[in-house]
Structure 1
């Protein structure tokens, strides 16, 4: 996928190109973000504010859960969804506090400097988190996909690579093997949406999965919604009326990255470890949009310590 240029979909059957709905499946992901922003009125300012929340700001109530020992004040925090944010970092502070250590396996690799000198290093944390991000800096970025667009490199998930693994088993088998149970998969759902606005998928997949689990949206403690683009993430959060303090409390793909094929598992890992930190019985949702017009969501339960 990454070996093709952005505007080269490859050899496509004329049967597909003659079908408007099928043809829409070929729309570049960045343009679908612009479509969502235009169709549903998600402004550049709101997208940048959401990106900043993922990258640099943390909601006060998120810190009361994740960092109960921290005390701080803020005189004039920016507002988003009528919620105030402190001048601490969400993803960066979580990284600084070591909250990702339980879910990251250190990897040894060999790197070379500009002079060709090689050395072995151990990679033990994500590289993409940028705590110095500001609204002013985000506002200076040019649209990435459309001349008069609103999606930029700053309010979209960054280019990254990674891997994640999740082991799903029967409880009896886990007990037999002596494996700790991090959580229980209660339900999942996959839905279809128009391909040209594929980013809205979570707004429809989440209610479907939550209903299958016999729960309501209010029963969910944490929503890990993939931030492919701020435009679609903002739309989904607003459409469902989810309190921002429940959304990606440790940052999302704008800060952490969105490696294709890895993100879903990464979200599950992050969610289950965060539910465990909270200690009590709780529910969480993992959801993401899917290119060509789909959305997927799953409901997990942490039984409590």
Structure 2
């Protein structure tokens, strides 16, 4: 099997769903923008790409019609470059990267693009719910159709993870995001994107349009305090999940360029790191948040890794309870876990997040002159994806 190199990574800034800069941006230009820039950063001709695989949590409407193929066309890859869209909800981006990596590792191709895109603004609030629920399965396992907030509340209650612990974690995560922003870490990843957003006047209700340049993440709240979070009401009666300790609904896209590592080295391309492998795990749908730990344990065993070898851990912040449970179960050191904060502050465009974790982890390894990173992302339905990266 061939080594698989990641030679470029970029993303849009993450915009607030419905209220942010991308609230009326179609998924095609959003995804095409990062594909084009990633190829530029890799100094590759778009026509060299042999496949484009995009992850998308909600692949319909503005992110439907095989958006991977259409985004590749709009990015200028040419009609001979194929594309495929995949969906494993929040794990979609990492799964897209795994598909591209496996094709390269097996020798089927040499150059591919993996990415993720989500327009929650244009899709989630207009979903086709015709025959959405299949009653025989719902009667057997009702939690298949629970909201993710319901699953987070269930995990918090089942494993006695308090509201105070969740809110305290968020304060620290927001601080880490603010520190990373001040250090210019996110600016290294972000490719500015000009678009037209819709603005509604709160007093008159009148809607207008405005051309904007999105160049910074819109979600972070650097002034977050424990007192402020404690004042928020739970989303569900009797629950502990609030708007403050859950990941934000957001829009955005990200892409990586992956290549046969030997070819990349011969061409003296900027290798960010190697994609070493992926593993999956599944649990009961109502326990979605806890699936990260078994996925990572399976990955570690498969790769022959010990905990002490890992220089960086990225544990998905679907909810504060998600990270708290999996960090405790895996006993990852806090000083190397989610070092630049996470999705609670930055936002979580479902299909994009895994690619953001992949690219940002490799960039952070370089900053630290470190070598190994593990990423774990939980997924609706009680699943999780875990990835091992090496530099």
The reply to whether TM is greater than 0.5 is yes
| Among 316, 319, 334, the residue aligned to 1:226 | 316
Counterpart CA distance in 2 for 1:123 and 1:258 is 16
| Among 140, 148, 152, the residue aligned to 2:231 | 140
Counterpart CA distance in 2 for 1:232 and 1:91 is 18
Counterpart CA distance in 2 for 1:9 and 1:214 is 46
| 1:264 aligned onto 2:385 | no
Distance verdict in 2 for CA 1:96–1:211, change over 3 Å: same
Maintained 8 Å contact 1:48/1:139: yes
Distance verdict in 2 for CA 1:192–1:117, change over 3 Å: closer
Distance verdict in 2 for CA 1:179–1:42, change over 3 Å: same
Deviation string 1:178-213 (CA, Å, 9 cap, x unpaired) is: 431111122211011111011111111111112222
Aligned length: 263
RMSD: 2.0
* Gapped regions of structure 1 (runs ≥ 5): 56-88
TM-fit CA distance, 1:118: 5.6
| Among 290, 295, 299, the residue aligned to 2:388 | 299
Structural mapping, 1:233-272, within 5 Å: 233-272=323-362
* Gapped regions of structure 2 (runs ≥ 5): 1-57, 59-123
Equivalent position SS for 1:11: coil
| 1:3 aligned onto 2:125 | yes
| Among 114, 136, 141, the residue aligned to 1:15 | 136
Counterpart CA distance in 2 for 1:271 and 1:9 is 39
Equivalent position SS for 1:174: helix
| 1:103 aligned onto 2:193 | no
Structural mapping, 1:122-201, within 5 Å: 122-144=213-235, 146-201=236-291
Maintained 8 Å contact 2:253/2:352: yes
Distance verdict in 2 for CA 1:177–1:123, change over 3 Å: farther
TM-fit CA distance, 1:119: 5.0
Equivalent position SS for 1:267: helix
Q: TM-score, normalised by structure 1?
A: 0.81
Counterpart CA distance in 1 for 2:125 and 2:221 is 27
Equivalent position SS for 2:351: coil
Deviation string 1:118-168 (CA, Å, 9 cap, x unpaired) is: 654322111111100000000000001x21110000001011111011222
Distance verdict in 2 for CA 1:183–1:154, change over 3 Å: same
Maintained 8 Å contact 2:219/2:346: yes
Question: Following TM superposition, where does structure 1 have runs of at least 4 consecutive aligned residues deviating by more than 4 angstroms?
Answer: 111-119
Distance verdict in 2 for CA 1:116–1:150, change over 3 Å: closer
User: Which residue does 2:87 correspond to in 1?
Assistant: none
User: Which residue does 1:92 correspond to in 2?
Assistant: 178
